Chain A
Amino acid sequence: MNFANLTRRFFNATHQLSRILTFNTIQRTNFVGVRSISTTPFIYNESNINEDVNKKLMEFFDDKKNWNENDVKHGRSWQLPELRIKSNTDLHKLWYILLKERNMLMTMEHEHSREWRWWASPERLDKVKDSMKNVETVVRERNRAYYELETGEDGEVPVVKQTNMLGLVEVRRKREHRIPLALNRKWRENNPGPTNERDMHRFLKLYREKNYMVHRRSKNRARNHVIRLLRRFPDLDRNILKQKYPSVNIDNLGRRDKFRGHYVFKVD
């Protein structure tokens, strides 16, 4: 693949930038610390900086011809099957191309919002992010295959399901520590399990009640919606309704007053 050219340009730019920065710091230390060596202080000047670097820093911005466009035509994101046939090196290079593109798009978005301007085709950012997510997924798949073959584990950060202080079950990713849990008093203090059982049960009772009310309300809403649908469309296929609103007992709806209505409904 011909990504090499692009990545080389990117690395050259960063290299140049680091050279400027180091040059600057050396000058400053000489100026402050070592008096015997006479050096001219570094003054920021257009001519001091290599023109090439300026050009390369402009890679943070979009092509100038796109600046006043209403619409920038572009393709779609990289899909998983397309990435699965690429070598690790290609994926690595593609990642940096995408990263650079994302930086460019985010810079442009920021700059446009700063100047209160319309930014063309903001979905480009979503597409690049989607591609990056897909690259990461493929890399993870490959790594998981290796670890499962070699160690029998998937090599991912382990996930634990545990009950927290409020008695709610939560899922969290484990973290890496230098000392074992038995010695880590601070961590234990910060992550207490269910301690005060009386308060916890009282909280859980209220929490369950709240969840139940939400659930009941949504069920009622669905039932009323189905009733009103059937009033408007009497010949509606009941099987579709059963599929779409599984919580509603459609066969028993005819008994309700709401279904009958207090007047003859005008069907339009």
Chain B
Amino acid sequence: MRITLINQAKKYNILKNIGELSKTYGNFPDSYVKRASEQVYWKTPRAPQYQKRTVEKNNFRFTTNRPWTGQFKMQNMPNMRRKKVFIEPIQNWSFFRGDRVEVLVGKDKGKQGIINQIFQERNWVIVEGLNCHFRSVGKEKDYPGVIIRSEAPLLVTSQVKLVDPTDLLATDIEWRYTEDGERVRVSTRTGRILPIPKAHEETMDYKAKKLYLNREKDTPEDVVTEITFEPKLATFEMDIMEEMKIEENRVPKKTYWY
């Protein structure tokens, strides 16, 4: 029997540091993300003489590798310490996949592009084809390697700005409510709504929810939405016993709960 103590020390939970958008993009259950990304060094056995305690890694460096991947694990090896990164807290996240943004820094300053990837843990976005650098892969003594162009992430707090779709100029935005009670982004300059793009729905499994193909073991939609519940004055067990024609006439002996 597991006893839960009321005054327990707070346990580190990596899920709290992983951004909501990263989780929705991965389309994994939280329990899997936690199990794949955490690094538990030692856990107390399940025995009455132990309190529930774990020793685990609690300082992770979040990068462009998603937390549940092997690359992330490689960059956060056990007992590896890296310099702390300070991340500016943001009240409302307002950059989504598919948004048109203007780059404010670097050699592509003033250019506009589409947001490709979002790394909420670092306040980063990657703009397609902008802010690029070149790196060679597979370079050896007698082989120059293959040169690859890859985008560097940009900070949403200071390095990019959203673009107003009506006049295609960079603008500040504000979150407001429409008369229908819908929460929308509004350009503070023109007062126009910046709609959230459809690419925002994209996950690792599908581009859009409608485009998902039913697999072999998936339940068809009409079966899922079919209503078969009928309210009845019986517990689950009573209902199943009636269904299976199981009769139980034995009277249980008196028992004591303590």
Contact = CB atoms under 8 A, between A and B. Distances in A.
Interface stretch (B106-114, B129-137, B225-233): B225-233
A87 interface: yes
Contact of B236 (A91, A123, A149, A233): A91
A180 B256 contact: yes
Given A2-B223, A146-B234, A168-B5, A175 B258 contact: yes
Nearest to A245: B89
A255 B229 CA distance: 65
Contact of A176 (B35, B226, B227, B257): B257
Contact of A73 (B4, B7, B205, B237): B205
Interface residues of B, number: 50
Given A1-B226, A75-B214, A126-B31, A241 B89 contact: yes
Given A127-B29, A143-B235, A177-B258, A168 B7 contact: yes
Interface in B243-258: 243, 253, 255-258
A90 B218 contact: no
A158 B257 contact: yes
Nearest to A125: B32
Interface string A128-142: 011000000001001
Contacts of B4: 170-172
Give chain A's interface residue range (CB within 8 Å of chain B): 35 or more
A205 interface: no
Interface stretch (A38-46, A52-60, A78-86): A78-86
Contacts of B253: 178
A256 interface: no
A130 B205 contact: no
Contacts of B227: 85
A74 B139 CA distance: 39
Contacts of A161: 6
Interface in A137-158: 139, 142-143, 146-147, 149-150, 155, 158
A3 to B, nearest CB: 9
Contact of A86 (B29, B229, B257): B229
Contacts of B28: 123, 126
A123 B6 CA distance: 32
Nearest to B35: A126
Contacts of B256: 176-181
Contact of B228 (A87, A168, A207, A233): A87
A150 B31 CA distance: 37
A200 B68 CA distance: 45
Interface string B69-102: 0000000000000000010111100000000000
Contact of B29 (A88, A130, A164, A178): A130
A7 to B, nearest CB: 12
A37 interface: no
A174 interface: yes
B47 interface: no
B258 A229 contact: no
Interface in B192-243: 205, 212-219, 223-230, 233-237, 239-240, 243
A229 B86 contact: yes
A146 B89 contact: no
B156 to A, nearest CB: 13
Interface string B17-43: 000000000011101100110000000
Contacts of B219: 75
A168 B225 CA distance: 48
B148 interface: no
Interface string A1-17: 11000000000000000
A236 interface: yes
Contacts of A76: 27
22 contacts: A73-B215, A74-B218, A75-B215, A77-B29, A84-B229, A85-B228, A88-B240, A88-B243, A89-B240, A91-B236, A123-B28, A146-B235, A150-B233, A169-B6, A169-B7, A170-B6, A172-B3, A175-B1, A179-B256, A207-B7, A232-B86, A244-B89
Given A74-B217, A90-B228, A177-B255, 20 more contacts: A1-B226, A73-B215, A84-B229, A85-B226, A86-B228, A92-B236, A127-B29, A130-B29, A139-B236, A147-B235, A158-B257, A170-B3, A170-B4, A171-B3, A176-B257, A177-B256, A178-B255, A229-B88, A232-B88, A237-B91
Which 9 A-B pairs give the minimum distances between C-beta atoms?
A123-B32, A75-B218, A126-B32, A87-B228, A88-B239, A126-B29, A174-B257, A85-B227, A139-B236
